[in-house]
C-alpha cells in the first residue's frame, strides 16, 4: 500500500532562517506531488506541484521554492523565512495514471516563524 | 478553470442528515467532482467522487444533477466526530501535458451539535 511521509512534524524557526521540509511517498511510482499551505483557520493554498523529477510548477510567487530530486521525494525550501510563512504545510500525491483527482495527504508540518 | 462555491459554515444536531451543496457553474466535460473531509491538524481525506447522477459509499452520498453545475454531499445521521471542514473540488485539467492541478476552496465548516 502507498504511504506518504512528512518531516518534521513541527518546526519553530526565527525570521530570516532557512527552511527545508521533506516529503516522501512509498508504494507507488511516478506520482504527481503537491505542496499546500494552510494558514490558521483558512483553506488550502496550492504552492507547488510536480509531475516528474525536476519538473516543478509554482502557483504562488514568493520566497519559497520546491525541488524533486527523486521520483518519490519532494522538498520545500526557503532561504529566508518570513513571519507570513507560518502555517500548516501539507504534501500530497496522486497517481499519474488517474484523471480523477483523488489526492492522498501526508500528516503535515506545523511551521511557526517567530 | 472550474471554480466552486460552497457555504462557509453549517450547524447540525447529532443524528440528522446533513446536505452540503457546492456550485460549479463552469465545470468542464471531463471534470469530476470530489469531496474531502479535514479534521483539525490533519491533512484532508478523500470522501467521495462522482461524475453524474448519484454515488454512494459507506461514508456519504453524492448527488449530481444532469447539468452538473452543482453537487450535494449528503452525510446520513451525523455524529460529533463528523465535525470537520468539507471541501468540494472540481478537476482542473486546463494545463497542457496532462497536469493534475487540483484547487481547494475554503470549504464548509460543519459543526455537529450534541
Is the CB of residue A35 less than 8 Å away from at least one CB of chain B?
no
Nearest chain A residue (CA) to B86: A43
Nearest chain A residue (CA) to B90: A101
Looking at chain A, how many residues does it have?
A: 114
| Grid cell in block for residue A10 | 513541527
Q: What percent of chain B has pLDDT over 90?
A: 68
Tell whether the model's pLDDT for residue B93 goes beyond 80: no
Q: What is the pLDDT of residue B81?
A: 95
Interface-testing mutation among A103, A106, A107, A108, with chain B (most B C-beta atoms within 10 A): A103
Is the CB of residue A34 less than 8 Å away from at least one CB of chain B?
yes
pLDDT tens digits, one per residue of A49-92: 898 999 998 887 679 999 999 999 999 999 999 999 999 999 99
Q: What is the pLDDT of residue A99?
A: 53
Q: What is the pLDDT of residue A2?
A: 85
Instruction: Please state which of the ranges A8-22, A85-99, B2-16 shows the lowest mean pLDDT.
Output: A85-99
Cis omega (within 30 of 0) for bond into B86: no
Mean pLDDT, chain A, rounded, equals: 90
Integer angstrom CA distances of residue A96 from A6, A31, A51, B3: 20, 5, 7, 23
Tell whether the model's pLDDT for residue B108 goes beyond 60: yes
Q: What percent of chain B has pLDDT over 70?
A: 88
Q: Which residues contact A79 (CB under 8 A, 6 or more apart)?
A: A18, A63
User: pLDDT confidence of B28, banded at 50, 70, 90?
Assistant: confident
Distance between CA atoms of A110 and A89, rounded to whole angstroms? Answer: 6
User: pLDDT confidence of A42, banded at 50, 70, 90?
Assistant: confident
Instruction: Please state which of the ranges A15-19, A27-31, B27-31 shows the lowest mean pLDDT.
Output: B27-31
HEC sequence for A72-98: CEEEEEECCCCHHHCEEEEEEEECCCC
Distance between CA atoms of A8 and B105, rounded to whole angstroms? Answer: 26
Under 8 Å between Cβ of B88 and B4: yes
CA angle centred on B106, ends B103 and B112, rounded to 5° = 130
Work out the number of other CB atoms within 10 angstroms of the CB of residue B67: 9
Residue A113: name the closest of A40, A21, A13, A10 by CA: A13
Task: Note the Cα B87 to chain centre separation in Å.
Answer: 5
pLDDT tens digits, one per residue of B35-89: 999 998 899 999 999 999 999 999 999 999 999 999 999 999 999 999 999 999 8
Amino acid at each position: 500500500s502507498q504511504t506518504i511521509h512528512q518531516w518534521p512534524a513541527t518546526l519553530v524557526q526565527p525570521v530570516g532562517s532557512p527552511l527545508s521540509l521533506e516529503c516522501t511517498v512509498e508504494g507507488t511510482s511516478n506520482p504527481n506531488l503537491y505542496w499546500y499551505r494552510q494558514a490558521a483557520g483558512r483553506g488550502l493554498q496550492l504552492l507547488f506541484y510536480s509531475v516528474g523529477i525536476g519538473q516543478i510548477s509554482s502557483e504562488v510567487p514568493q520566497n519559497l521554492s520546491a525541488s524533486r530530486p527523486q521520483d518519490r521525494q519532494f522538498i520545500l525550501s526557503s532561504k529566508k523565512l518570513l513571519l507570513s510563512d507560518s502555517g500548516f504545510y501539507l504534501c500530497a500525491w496522486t497517481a499519474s495514471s488517474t484523471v480523477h483527482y483523488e489526492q492522498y495527504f501526508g500528516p503535515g508540518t506545523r511551521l511557526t516563524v517567530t | 478553470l472550474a471554480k466552486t462555491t460552497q457555504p462557509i459554515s453549517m450547524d447540525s444536531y447529532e443524528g440528522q442528515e446533513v446536505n452540503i451543496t457546492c456550485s460549479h457553474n463552469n465545470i468542464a466535460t471531463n471534470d469530476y467532482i470530489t469531496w474531502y473531509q479535514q479534521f483539525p491538524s490533519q491533512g484532508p481525506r478523500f470522501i467521495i467522487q462522482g461524475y453524474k447522477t448519484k454515488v454512494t459509499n459507506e461514508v456519504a452520498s453524492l448527488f449530481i444533477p444532469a447539468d452538473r453545475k452543482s453537487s450535494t454531499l449528503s452525510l446520513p445521521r451525523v455524529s460529533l466526530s463528523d465535525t470537520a471542514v468539507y471541501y468540494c473540488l472540481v478537476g482542473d485539467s486546463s494545463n497542457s501535458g496532462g497536469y493534475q492541478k487540483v484547487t481547494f476552496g475554503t470549504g464548509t465548516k460543519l459543526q455537529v451539535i450534541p
